[in-house]
Structure formats: C-alpha cells, structure tokens
Amino acid sequence: MEELREWASDMAEALVRLSDRLYVYRGATNAGILKEGNRALLIDPGAGEVVEVMRSLGIDAVDLIVFTHHHRDQACGMEFVSGIETRVGVPEAERAHFDDVASYWNDPAHRWHLYNFHPHHLMLTEPLAVHETYSEGSSFEWGKARVSVLVTPGHTDGSVSYLVDVDGQRTAFTGDLIYDEGKILELYSLQRGTGNEIDDYHGFLGSRGQVVESLRKVEDTRPIRLVPSHGTIMTNPSKAIRALTKRLKSCYDRYAAISALRFYFPDMFPKYAEGSKVMPIRPGMQIPECLRHYGTTWLLISKDKVAFAMDCGDPSVIQEVRKLQADRMINQVERLWITHYHDDHVDVAKAFRESFGCAIMTDSHVADVIEKPLYWRLPCISPEAVSVDLHTRDGESWRWREYKMTGYHFPGQTYYHSGLLVEGWRGLRMFFAGDSFTTSGIDDYCAGNRNHLRDGAGFDKCIELLEKLRPDLIFNSHMDQPFDFTPEQYALMRANLDKRKGEYGMLLAQEDPNYGIDEHWIRCHPYEQHLRAGTNVTLHVVITNHSKEPRTAECRAVIPTTWGGGATDYAFATVDPQQEEFISLSFRIPDNVPLERYVVPVDVRYEGRLLPQFAEAIVQVF
C-alpha cells in the first residue's frame, strides 16, 4: 500500500475529470471512476494505484468493478481496490479467463507446440471471483448513470466496450482496441488466424479487421470521447478511428508485398500478386545432384557417400535415410545441422542422432533454445531437449569432406535462427536459409518469433548478408526447389523494411516500434523451473532496450498468495541502447506448500513507467 501511495502522489495530476460524476485516473491503466456520493464503480483499475486518488474524491467504497478484457495488467491490483461487498463484472466470453485461470496454466497446449495464441498468456496468475457477466446488449443502471455493453473483439477474442451515459454525456471505454488517434498499444496481440489461415501462427495482423469493425460499432453509438485502457483520451472518435483504419491497412499492405505466405498460400493474397511495390515471385531452380530433400530436411551427400543432414522434424525422414543406406547411396550420416528451434525442425533430432550416430551442430543462438526448452516460451517450441555437440559462432568456417561450410546467426524468421553457406560443389555457393525466405519474400508472419525491425538487425541483417555472400542457390527447409534473388529484389525488400520503420512507428504507441512488435522485449529466464519446496528461486528478468539511448529498468517478482503473497524488493539495471540486460531476483519457496504449478508474475518499471505483471515465470514445485 505504501508503494501505491507513492505512485498516486507522484501522479496526482493524472486524475482527469470528464464530468461531475465521471473521472479517469491515468496510471498503469486509464482507470474509469464513476462516482455517486462516497461510492464508486471502477472500469479496468489496473495495478490499483487509483485507490489513493479515490480517497481524495471522498470515495470509501467500491460497489462494482468491470473489466473490458482479461489481461492481467487490467486487474492485478484487485486486492487494493476491492472490498467485501465489491462485485466484479467481466465479458461473458472471457469469464473462465478470470475465475478458472488454472485450466489455462496447467494445459500443455498453452505451453508447448504453440501455433495458436488465443487466449493470450497475459492471463491472470490467480483466479478472481466473478459476480456478473456481460454480453452484447447487456446494460444496467448505477446511480445516475447507465452503462451499456458492446462486444468488441480484436485485442482479445472476448473484449467488450462500456458506454457510460452520465451527466448528459456518452463516454466509451474501449479497452485496448485503440491507443490514440491512429495508434494501437502493440501489434502482437493482433496475431490471429482468419479465413484460410490454418492457425494464429500464420495470421500477422489477423485481428485488424475485427479491431476496425469493433471501433466502427462503437463509433455508431456516437460517444463524445473514447477512453482506452492505455493511451490518450480521444475527443474526436471518428477522426481517431479513421486514422487507425488507414494505418492498419498501410502496414498490412507493406507486410504482404514481400510476405513468404504469398508462396505458401497464394489464394489468400490475390491482390498482392503484382504491382510496383510487390516483389515478383521467383521461379524454382534445379536441385543439385548432391542433395536430397525430405519434409523439412535437406541432405548433403559427399563424394565418398557420407551425409550431412539439416533439420529433422518427422520420423519419416529417418526411414528415408535408411532407404538411402540400404540402396548404398550413402554409407553414414556424420552431422546434423539445426537451422532453428521450431518443433517441425527439431522434434526428431534426438532420434535421428541415435539412429545414425551423428553429431549435432548449430549456431549458439539456436543452441541456447533447443538445449534448454524449459527456459523459453516461444511459438512452435518443442519440450524435447536436444544437446548440441558443436556450437558455432557467427561467421565461423570449417571443412567437412570436400566442402567449405560457414555458419551464421541468421535472425530472420525468428531471432533464434541460423544460416549455412556451403561451397564446393561445381563452384556453386549454396545457402541454407531455414524458413527465413521463400521465392515470394520474407517469413515474418508471426510477431512472436522476434523479427526486430532495425538497420543491421532482423531481416535487414539477413538480406545484407545475402547481398554480400551472393549465393547462387538459396534453400528453404519446406521447399523442394532452391531459388535466388536478383539485386533489384534485395533492394526492394530492404526498402520495404525501411518504410515499415516509419509506418509502424506511426501505428505503435512507443518511441521505437520494436517495443510494440517484439512480444518478448521483457521476458523471464528461465521461463520454467522445477524446484523442491523449501528451496530458493533465482529468476532473471531480461530487458531488451530497443531505444537509441540507455534506459533504466526496475523489476520485482510478485509472490503467489499460497506462499504468503507480497513481492520482492525492486532490483535495478541500466540497459545500453539496443542491448539486453539481465536483472536477477531471488525468493524462497516456503516449506509444505502444495506440490503444484505456480505462476510468478513480474512488475517492471521502465524509465519510470509502471508495467504491472508484464511478464511471468513458471515454478513447478515437487
């Protein structure tokens, strides 16, 4: 409570009076305060800093707290703002995300092989009692006000907006549908599969249509202002919505013009088949005789019939290689190179090594993930730990049989990705790019993969490397034929990425667009630990500073209620520009706690801005 007083005192000027009875406290969230005498109705009270401000308004009891959506930064301060008689109202479609959160956290489908991200993992870590649920058309009177409910999905599948009619005015509380005129809080929550897309993983900006439709639905009710959960109070709703609609379309058009999905799912992108800003799709080329392709596996065969394999995600590959041995096409498999950590590239890597006695090698960034998958929460991650025999450094070369090989950190499709240049077959320079490129462009259709948008980083770094290496053939793990790019196509892709920096910068709320693109700019490492009761937990919070200047960060762990509640002291670090910094936290698991799975959220202050429970870690007590 002392901490909340500190925050409320520092931010008292953030109390905005909208009318005689309606206020907004602009803290970690924009907390709506509907006042009637000494009582209040709260909307999205966030971390609970609003409690001290309410007291300054003469409020000493809260009748009802309502939430626009289930993300925990909206509700993590409930212990401070609620009382014995306080009722809680939530969207009907998201009730289980408030009062049955254990079902989410204990389900392996929300931990491993992640191709669908709804509901988002910003789930509450402990359940919240729910008294009322709201669906389309729900409404109620409270004091002199009338509150009406619109179902407005987009930021989450079950989000609602609240129309508050009081003092002759209509105000719309819209959750995180919009941040400011033409802006959203972040981009990764809009990752959603739609239409022919098979899952959320392929649905970059897939919720953009829902967001626009929901905002137009709000606009049709003619509110005089929009109050987002995060961002600026907007007094010209139509102008704000029009600007956002335009920017979402522009950003999607820019993405689709060079998207790898145009190759995989051409029927989904008919309007992006041609045009001056659209990259022409390259034709496939002939496979060199030294190579075989099975599933996501490329197999390089030397003159003396020894094989060098790249990736193995399906058991059928092992059978195909055994057939090659039986037919005396190869004698043995000597190495297995891993291009990236995704399950369809590593699920059978251990079995492959056991079958053929080969060594596994990869870039150190990839090895960090596949050797300790418990430490990570990423899309398409496999729980199968794969030990790596040979860790390579960016740009490291070696000889294998008659070939010269050079390994690279190749942060395209995902930051945890490698590339491999192979030279020595008839003068060809062959580059194995994993899943980062297809003949239609770049594979950045999943924001959770960490595609940093910056000169010399992400796909810009990958394209710059390919321009320098000038490979004759580029190999994608999923494609049967290699391909190449022209200098003009490299230039077009880099120009597209350069344009995105400005367009995404206009769309997203933060000073650098990577904060709104990179879902993991704050993460816990290890993500999951299995520990005995009565032992200490050591947790590292990893902060990525995407800014061009140093940034200060503080963080603390929020202790589970079963362990006694409370929080650790804040730990502090200064993070250099465009670098990562680890902040260490330590706390003890009490003796005799139930042997179960616990979620430990982390509060972060970044440059003085409170980000409540922004990340989380898992502790399995045994």
Which region, left, alpha or beta, applies to residue 6 given φ > 0 means left and ψ of -120 to 50 means alpha?
A: alpha
> What is the edge-to-edge ordering of all strands in the sheet holding 522-525?
522-525, 536-544, 580-588
CA–CA separation, 604 and 571 (whole Å): 10
Are the CB atoms for 531 and 622 separated by under 8 Å? yes
Domains of the chain: 2-256 (3.60.15.10), 291-485 (3.60.15.10), 521-621 (2.60.40.10)
H/E run at residue 344: helix 343-346
CA atoms lying within 13 Å on the CB side of residue 377: 24
Q: What whole-number distance in Å separates Cα of residue 586 and Cα of residue 8?
A: 28
Two tokens, residue 266: 């051409």
CB atoms within 10 A of CB 415: 21
Task: Report the C-alpha gap between 362 and 66 in whole angstroms.
Answer: 50
C-alpha–C-alpha distance, residues 480 and 475, integer Å: 8
Q: Which residues contact 2 (CB under 8 A, 6 or more apart)?
A: none
Name the nearest CA neighbour of 308 among 320, 300, 296: 300
Is 265 exposed, middle or buried (CB count within 10 Å of its CB: 0-12, 13-18, 19+)? Answer: middle
381 and 357 in contact (C-beta within 8 Å)?
Answer: no
- State the Cα–Cα distance between residues 484 and 466, nearest whole angstrom: 10
Task: Specify the residue for token string 């590239």.
Answer: 345
Nearest Cα residue to 29 out of 41, 55, 2, 11: 11
Q: Which residues pair with residue 422 across a beta bridge?
A: 405, 430
Pairing of strands 551-557, 536-544: unpaired
- As beta bridge partners, residue 427 has none
DSSP string, 23-38: EEEESSSEEEEEEETT
Six-digit token string for 318: 């092992």
Which residue matches tokens 């995060």? 230
| Best CA proximity match to 372, nearest among 416, 407, 334 | 416
Contact 518/452 with Cβ under 8 angstroms? yes
Q: Which of 271, 268, 164, 151 is nearest to 215 (CA)?
A: 151
Nearest-5° angle of CA 236, CA 167, CA 174?
45
586 and 569 Cβ atoms separated by less than 8 Å: no
pLDDT score, position 569: 97
pLDDT at 469: 98
Neighbours of 361 (CB within 10 A): 23
Low-confidence ranges of the chain (pLDDT < 70): 1-12, 195-197
Cα distance between residue 361 and residue 582, in whole Å: 27
The total number of residues shown for the chain amounts to 622
